[in-house]
Structure 1
Amino acid sequence: MTAVAADRILSAAQAFSVAQRLGADFAPTAGARDRATYTGLLELFLEQFDGGTGLAGVLAVPVMLGAGSAHALAPDLLLEPVLVELGATAALPGLYLSDRIFAEDGVIDRYSGRWRSVAQALIHSSKAANHA
């Protein structure tokens, strides 16, 4: 499984770029949540992908950072539809992280531990279907 991880807000665009070049199967998509659906940088980058096919074959996980839990559903409600519109498979739940403590609170490790086998199965079945 080829994976590309975005571990900082501004590296989401870089992660997609690397994912595309490597033919990655999995690309977490991160953006900040601050009075808008997603940041202009992420929007500008996502506009580079063709609608319906630009992220075809990629398992995308919507990830958003924010200051409070009031926007905890934002990854699933606001970012996931954009990724799906671009052709990505967004079969895993989105992840909302506190922008102040996400690097230390263990949420990312718990999430990846919980969903790793599901992601691997989805990627494997997608590859098998494409080779059939």
Structure 2
Amino acid sequence: MSTPVTDARQNAGTPVGGGSAGSIVTLVGNPREGSRTRTAAVAAAEEVGRRIGHGGSHEIVDLAALGPHLLAPGPSAGVEVALELVTGASVLVVASPTYKGTYTGLLKVFLDKLPSGALTGIVALPLLVMGDPAHSLAVEVHLRPLLVELGATVATPGLALLESQIPQPEQILSAWADRVAPQVAAVLGEAEKGRART
């Protein structure tokens, strides 16, 4: 079994907003290890990271390995580490396959462990992988409100990615990252200014 939390250092590219801040965390809510959802989410995080000149850490929280611990009684060290990584992110990519027209129960159970406002100050990037284009609005209708409820600033638009697009997602990911990276850079820039004033 793979570890639920892995480090995926990334190379920084030409920044959109100049400089780098904090960490990028990719949260994967697919119950299957080594999923296509994880592959797509990591690629999306890397695309955005390059555009904002991110030179910090990139961590992956893969809930597939944590599933048995999420509903178990008592605390779990792995779950606690995952929650700390998620709430300590500057940019959080939240990815799930589309189940029954929305995100997975696994992702919901994990996020339910966070208190209200736990993602305040974090830029969230919602991503859903789906088999049917009819579900493409689920990323905006279902996943975005969940992240907003937890206090995140959610960049627009979320990414709705078809399973058929995953083998060669470069063009779609690139166009999406071009749209959201300026928003991410702006929020991070404002946060940096706020820290400098205190």
TM-score interval (norm. to shorter): 0.7 to 0.9
Which residue, 105, 114, 132 being the options, matches 2:179?
114
Give deviations 1:58-97, integer Å, cap 9, x for gaps: 1001110100211111111110100011111113211100
Tell me which residue corresponds to 2:61. 14
1:5 aligns with 2:26: yes
Kindly provide the amino acid, as one letter, of the partner of residue 46 in structure 1. L
Q: Among residues 87, 92, 100, which one is paired with 2:151 in the alignment?
A: 87
CA distance in 2, matches of 1:96, 1:19: 27
Q: Which runs of 5+ in 1 are unaligned?
A: none
- Look up the match of 2:118: 54
1:14 partner SS: strand
The 1:10–1:18 alpha-carbon spacing in structure 2 relative to 1, beyond 3 Å, is farther
TM-score, L = length of structure 1: 0.82
Tell me what 1:35 maps to: 100
Distance change in 2, residues 1:103/1:123 (3 Å) = farther
Q: Relative contact order (C-alpha < 8 Å, sep 6+): which is higher? A: 2
Distance 1:38 1:85 in 2: 15
* Bigger mean CA offset, 102-111 vs 60-69: 102-111
Q: Residues 22 and 89 of structure 1: is their aligned pair in 2 closer, same or farther, counting only changes over 3 Å?
A: closer
Number of corresponding residues: 131
SS of the counterpart of 1:100? helix
Q: Is the 2:91–2:123 contact (alpha carbons within 8 Å) kept by the matching residues of 1?
A: yes
The CA RMSD over aligned residues, in Å, is 2.8
The 1:103/1:117 distance shift into structure 2, 3 A limit, reads farther
Structure-2 residue corresponding to 1:102: 166
Percent sequence identity over aligned pairs: 29
Could you say which structure has the larger radius of gyration? Answer: 2
* Stretches of structure 2 lacking an aligned partner (at least 5 in a row): 1-20, 29-35, 42-59, 64-81
Q: Secondary structure at the match of 2:26?
A: coil
